[in-house]
Each structure stands twice: as structure tokens, then as C-alpha cells.
Amino acid sequence: MRVLLLFAVLLLGGCSHMANDQWSGQDKAQHFLASAMLSAAGNEYAQHQGISRDRSAAIGLLFSVSLGAGKELWDSRPAGSGWSWKDFAWDVAGATTGFTVWQLAHQ
């Protein structure tokens, strides 16, 4: 629900400007890998704090996606490169992959 609220705020609030970028490229791989690592690290950190496995997984996933959204908000400022839904899609894909790999490693 919170993710949907974030999307609604971003869509209705508008960004300063949008990026004109491609679906592939080095920066997309960087978005994917960084998000995967942040998601897995967030999961592991939360679990080490004594949080249940399910909650720690959600925390790691939301931690990574939130940082991706924050990065895109930073890019959407007037001096930035513009909001990129393509970058954000790679962030979400990476966070989901990190979540999945972490879950499989901790069965």
C-alpha cells in the first residue's frame, strides 16, 4: 500500500523534469546491482536486530526501493538528469532479486 501511495504522490505531484534515457546501459546495471545488494543487506541487518524473517525481508526490500526513489527524486531537481522510470524499474527489479536471493540463502 505504501509503495502505491509513493507512486501516486510522484505521478500527481510531478517531477521537475523527466530523463530521456534507454532501457539498457551501464547505469541500468548499476541500478540493478546496487538495489539487489541494498535489499539483501537491509534484510540481513534487520534480521540481526532480532526482527522476524518476514519483517526483515520487507524492511530490506522497502529500504532498497526507497533509496532508489530518493535517487530519482534527486535526479529530478532542475540541475539533475531528470526522473527516470526506467532507472526506477531497474531499482525495483534489483531490490526484488536481492530479496529473492536472500530468502533462498536463508531457508
Q: Looking at residue 46, what is its pLDDT? A: 95
Residue segments in the chain with a per-residue pLDDT below the cut of 50: none
pLDDT, tens only, 53-83: 889 999 999 999 999 999 998 998 888 888 8
Q: What is the pLDDT of residue 77?
A: 86
Question: How many residues are there in the chain?
Answer: 107
Q: What is the pTM of this model?
A: 0.83
CA distance linking residue 29 with residue 48, whole number of Å: 29
The domain spans of the chain are 24-105
CB of 51 closer than 8 Å to CB of 59: yes
The whole-number pLDDT of residue 4 equals: 65
**19: Cα within 13 Å, side-chain hemisphere:** 21
